[in-house]
Structure 1
Amino acid sequence: MDVLLSGHIELSEAVPAPASRAGIPGASAHLPGRAFVTAVVPDEDLDREVTVSLHPERQRDIPFAVMRWFMEKVADEMARSRAERPFDSGT
């Protein structure tokens, strides 16, 4: 599950939603749990590198397909945040 908050993307475990949400139309059966991989895409300073942090205290075996999906989300966020900023020619 990913959470997008101004340049932050998290890969977290999915936890069951409370039973009280069962009657809500369109409500997800799962909610984001604690993040175990976080990426930060700095959109305020294009010279800063994108960083990916692994949280070893929340050790999980991440299937390659899931990690690839997560990194595609990071690449999409990089493209989106770079596209929103006007081109700076440095002059």
Structure 2
Amino acid sequence: MPWNVREHAGRHYAVVFHYALHDDAWSVELSEAVPAPATGDTDAAATYLPGAAFLATLVPDEDPTAEPTMRVYSPEEHVVPYEITRWYEEQVADQVERCRETSGR
């Protein structure tokens, strides 16, 4: 499950990519990133890990007629900076393009 982390105004956000088998789609999820637990290894590659997703976009990759959909998972209000929203949407757009290329659309 690959992810990207980005810092904005002192907060960290993560975008996670994974395949949602039950939806036949790639899920691209946005969350606030949380500090990685201390492992005692000073060369740890990940200093932040994805937290609980509050926004997910499902990108179908098998049905050429299905459109991407967004889901909001948030019992609490989340304020997402514009730059982080743009970064997330760019990553979603890249995933849509990859899926459309492989499905022949």
Asked whether the 8 Å contact 2:15–2:30 carries over to 1, the reply is: yes
1:59 aligns with 77
1:25 aligns with 43
SS at match of 2:31: strand
| More helix, by proportion | 1
Asked whether the 8 Å contact 2:56–2:72 carries over to 1, the reply is: yes
Structure 2's unaligned 5+ residue stretches are 1-13, 20-25
| Residue identity in the other structure for 2:97 | A
How many residues of Structure 1 are paired with residues of Structure 2 in the alignment? 86
Q: Name the TM-score, length of structure 2 as normaliser.
A: 0.74
Q: Name the TM-score, length of structure 1 as normaliser.
A: 0.84
Asked whether the 8 Å contact 2:64–2:103 carries over to 1, the reply is: no
Structure 1's unaligned 5+ residue stretches are none
| More strand, by proportion | 2
Asked whether the 8 Å contact 1:36–1:58 carries over to 2, the reply is: no
**Residue 72 in structure 1 maps to residue 85 in structure 2:** no
| Residue identity in the other structure for 1:31 | L
Q: Which has the larger radius of gyration?
A: 1
2:29 aligns with 10
Identity value in percent: 38
Which structure 1 residue ranges, 4+ long, deviate > 4 Å from structure 2?
none
